[in-house]
Structure 1
Amino acid sequence: MPMLMELTLGWPMSVDPRSSEDQIQRAEKIFDQLSPPSSLQKLRIDEFPGRRFPSWMMSKTTPTGDSLPNLKFLRIWNLPSCVELPPVSRFPQLKRFDVNRAKAIKTIGPEFLGLGEAGGAPTCRKLERLQFEDMPNWEEWVEEKVDGDDGGRALRPRPLPNLKSCRLENCPKLRALPDVLRHAPNLERLVIRNNHFMREIDDLPSLADVLEFTNMKMLERISNLPSLGWLKILVCPQLKFVENLNMLQHLLLQCPPEAEQLPMWLADLIEQHRSAPSARRSFKKFELYCGLPLLSSCLKGEPNWHIIQQIPEVRIQTFDGRNFLYAKDHDIYETNVGSE
């Protein structure tokens, strides 16, 4: 008999679980009685009205050993009532965890990564991707503190040694970047979209490839990302400081249609790179999407040209795609503004 490798579980959500306590208890009881095989590698839970996950997801061991010891992919979608996520530390082979529409989650605690367990290191060493979407009430990710040599409290280091990608989308109340990401030595990509409370993104020493922000209403500072190569900023109206991005190569920026001036932090960022020794200057490409007033101000002889001409390659385009400016290495300059 072939081993079961992939499983999708669901619940008929046509009945609103908020209106039926019996429905919630029934779902919890039925899910708790399930016994997925140890061979399972992919698990999807597409609807679950219960307040707590079944014991075979929350407990580290079962009578036969590790809980789902071969699970590599876990996706959970639509949790109207659950207040706690299953700990990814329970699944030693897990590589990817996605959660979507977890409306009742307010806090993710240290048990999520196994940081609250007495003794031993966290077991989620193979986790490569984390994705959190549509969590409208999630406010904080609390991590364990341990006694430091100076008597203070410090984070347990590097709980996610293989994490490469993290995505936080439509989590408007999340107040701060999870500190666990600062201790992920192989982090390559971080995407944050539609957040209204984070004010600062800083101290990500290992983030190497892509950092993307979209609709970050309160973000004021991006700093101390010494390995970052590509930064993408879309609709961050309060951003004032972008600094200490020593290896930045490519910046993509979107400004409001009515904007007429480039943000002041861009000139400061360029100056930081120009002040570095020539062998260490990495900033080579700037892409901008904007309205016609801002594009026009970047043309030769216009107020923003002195900033544009310092960047080796520049591509500027209006939102409708009709107008553009392209400049490269002081030798190539093309625009169709004013040609009509």
Structure 2
Amino acid sequence: MPSEMSKLTRLQHLSCFVVGKHEKKGVKELGTLSDLHGSLSIKKLENINNNFEALEARIMDKKYLEELELEWSIDAEDNIQNSQSEMDILGNLQPGKYLKRLDIDGYRGTRFPEWVGDPSYQNLTELSLYGCQNCFMLPPLGQIHSLKNLTICGMSMLKTIEPEFFKNGDYFSETPFPSLEHLMFDDMSCWEVWNHPRESYASFSVLKSLVIRGCPRLRGNLPTHLHALETIEIEVCNQLASSLPRAPSMRKLVIHESNKVALQELPLSLKELRIKGREITESIFEAIAITLQTSLRTLDIRNCSSTMSFPGDCLPASLKSLYLENCRNLDFPKQSPEHESLQYLCIDRSCDSLTTLPLEILQNLNHLFIRNCENIKCLSASKVFQNLVDIEIRECSKFVSFPREGLSAPNLTSLYVSRCVNLKSLPCRANTLLPKLEKVTISNCSEMETFPEGGMPPSLRSLYIRNCEKLMRSSSLTSMDMLMHLSIGGPCDGVESFSKGGDFSTSHPSRN
């Protein structure tokens, strides 16, 4: 920082102060800046030598500050000799009572001073504790009645959350965390147990979102009743065998690589479900089979190696979006009834038994993405698809054809085909059946020889071709005078000239 910042006594806005080692750039330079407003971030606090220097910053006197970040550098040498001294330094950086947001990042003490968690901070709505790697216990935060958002991340020494987390000494109300709406635990590598006080039946009474991520040793004891909970995310918690909280208002459930989570049934209010892992997918399918799902809109399934089918060989009737990734033994439902609600479908390295995708059962599809599906050979369609706007097919080595009679999609605007080495042609009758097609990308389709008979639709504006040597010899390429953008990569020896108009360019990038 510039030297002698302390002379700017009428300064009202200072976004960041970096503590220097030189006396004229130390933290005490903040002492005279009592008129600071808004948000202040104080960085490199490891350069404070003792608690008296911290006291000279007079953070408590800055009554107009609403947001404060206290940050110790991650890469600073951890040469702490006295944990009490570290706690005293943070203790003397105590902010005023009107603070609304507090971030403590990289604090090096083993415990927090008493002011962190003091219920007298009646305006504090957001609190984040990041990377406090030496702390082995949490401050008592449950009695900060105004707290709405709480994030605890990277406390690698913490093994147990005790009931003291909910109360401050003998001060305990019947409703710990009465205003908390969003709670996140992230990257807690040693956390094993979450103990709740006996009086915690009313805890988290308005909690809407609970995220527990990267806690590989956590075994259980999640809150049992969270009536206001709408979202729960549990990721990389391999030992967590607890049942999910009872949450009748749950709208979003995410469980990734946490296969021991116990699941009895799905809430009827659930709209978004994202799961990753074999065991949890089996459990979810069992729950879907016994639960009449009328609200589910989004289903995302990843990394399931089990051989299994959707319950009843059909998708939930209300489903709008389906994403399947790395589920090769999962059978895609191919029979009636039609899946009239489905609008978005992505199949990636999944459904190896699928050789033909019958679009007839996906009448209202908007977006279709097929990637790395080893055995799919073609699409079948005998209807008009009014809602389909884009198709993407990638790395499907056996894919040989679009529907023989053509693909009637009057509102399709984008078509992307890449690494389909046996595909020889785009959809036939494209000039009439795809009247709004604007953008076409064809990449690494070595057997594609020609554009559809009758040419491309007049609506086409952008054409991108990469490493399609046979296609470059097609005479119809030079007659596409409707194009505004043409990009060609790879060998293009077959092109001798272009007709009028447009912004045409050629390039020779590497074969990707």
Q: The TM-score by the shorter chain falls in which range?
A: 0.7 to 0.9
SS of the residue corresponding to residue 105 of structure 1 reads coil
- With normalisation by structure 2, the TM-score equals 0.51
1:148-167 → structure 2 map (5 Å cutoff): 156-167=200-211
Equivalent residue in structure 2 for 1:191, among 233, 243, 251: 233
Inter-CA distance 316–109: structure 2 relative to 1 (3 Å threshold) = same
Equivalent residue in structure 1 for 2:247, among 205, 212, 220: 205
Instruction: Write the distance in 1 (CA, Å) between the matches of 2:171 and 2:362.
Output: 61
Match of 1:111 in 2: 164
C-alpha contact (below 8 Å) 1:212/1:231 kept by paired residues: yes
Q: Does the alignment pair 1:5 with 2:66?
A: yes
Instruction: Write the distance in 2 (CA, Å) between the matches of 1:167 and 1:225.
Output: 18
Equivalent residue in structure 1 for 2:94, among 35, 50, 54: 35
Equivalent residue in structure 1 for 2:143, among 90, 95, 99: 90
- With normalisation by structure 1, the TM-score equals 0.74
- After superposition, give the CA deviation of every residue in 1:84-143 in whole Å (9 maximum; x if it has no partner): 112222322111111111101111122223399576323521111111110011112111
Equivalent residue in structure 2 for 1:171, among 207, 215, 222: 215
C-alpha contact (below 8 Å) 1:196/1:218 kept by paired residues: yes
Match of 1:250 in 2: 297
SS of the residue corresponding to residue 190 of structure 1 reads strand
Match of 2:276 in 1: 234
Equivalent residue in structure 2 for 1:289, among 299, 324, 330: 324
Equivalent residue in structure 2 for 1:55, among 114, 123, 134: 114
- After superposition, give the CA deviation of every residue in 1:297-327 in whole Å (9 maximum; x if it has no partner): 53xxxxx524885685275434379x99585
Q: Which runs of 5+ in 1 are unaligned?
A: 61-65, 147-155, 274-281, 299-303
Q: Does the alignment pair 1:25 with 2:84?
A: yes
Moved more, 83-92 or 7-16: 7-16
For the aligned residues, what is the CA RMSD? Answer: 3.6
- The one-letter amino acid paired with 2:174 is A
1:122-137 → structure 2 map (5 Å cutoff): 122-137=175-190
Match of 1:45 in 2: 104
SS of the residue corresponding to residue 216 of structure 1 reads coil
C-alpha contact (below 8 Å) 2:175/2:205 kept by paired residues: no
Instruction: Write the distance in 2 (CA, Å) between the matches of 1:234 and 1:308.
Output: 27
C-alpha contact (below 8 Å) 2:118/2:144 kept by paired residues: no
Instruction: Write the distance in 2 (CA, Å) between the matches of 1:292 and 1:229.
Output: 22
Match of 2:431 in 1: none
- The one-letter amino acid paired with 1:129 is H
Q: Does the alignment pair 1:305 with 2:349?
A: no
C-alpha contact (below 8 Å) 1:219/1:239 kept by paired residues: no
C-alpha contact (below 8 Å) 1:115/1:122 kept by paired residues: no
SS of the residue corresponding to residue 228 of structure 1 reads coil
- After superposition, give the CA deviation of every residue in 1:254-280 in whole Å (9 maximum; x if it has no partner): 3438x584x35x416969x7xxxxxxx
Q: Which runs of 5+ in 2 are unaligned?
A: 1-34, 38-63, 369-378, 380-392, 394-398, 402-422, 424-512
Instruction: Write the distance in 2 (CA, Å) between the matches of 1:174 and 1:287.
Output: 30
Measure how far apart 1:7 and its partner are: 1.0
SS of the residue corresponding to residue 254 of structure 2 reads strand
Measure how far apart 1:56 and its partner are: 0.9
C-alpha contact (below 8 Å) 1:317/1:325 kept by paired residues: no
C-alpha contact (below 8 Å) 1:77/1:101 kept by paired residues: yes
- The one-letter amino acid paired with 2:231 is R
C-alpha contact (below 8 Å) 1:84/1:105 kept by paired residues: yes
- The one-letter amino acid paired with 1:33 is N
Measure how far apart 1:73 and its partner are: 0.9
C-alpha contact (below 8 Å) 1:312/1:328 kept by paired residues: no
SS of the residue corresponding to residue 99 of structure 1 reads strand
C-alpha contact (below 8 Å) 2:68/2:102 kept by paired residues: yes
Match of 2:256 in 1: 214
Moved more, 28-37 or 216-225: 216-225
- The one-letter amino acid paired with 1:313 is L
Measure how far apart 1:197 and its partner are: 1.3
Higher radius of gyration, 1 or 2: 2
- The one-letter amino acid paired with 1:317 is C
Aligned residues: 302
Instruction: Write the distance in 1 (CA, Å) between the matches of 2:98 and 2:142.
Output: 18
C-alpha contact (below 8 Å) 2:244/2:261 kept by paired residues: no
Higher relative contact order (CA 8 A, sep 6+): 1
Measure how far apart 1:205 and its partner are: 3.0
Match of 1:152 in 2: none
- After superposition, give the CA deviation of every residue in 1:269-299 in whole Å (9 maximum; x if it has no partner): 969x7xxxxxxxx64345132359558x53x
Measure how far apart 1:45 and its partner are: 0.7
- The one-letter amino acid paired with 2:125 is K
C-alpha contact (below 8 Å) 1:313/1:329 kept by paired residues: no
Equivalent residue in structure 2 for 1:73, among 126, 135, 145: 126
Measure how far apart 1:185 and its partner are: 2.0
After TM superposition, where is structure 1 displaced by more than 6 Å over at least 4 residues in a row? 268-271
C-alpha contact (below 8 Å) 1:48/1:79 kept by paired residues: yes
Moved more, 221-230 or 184-193: 221-230
Match of 1:276 in 2: none
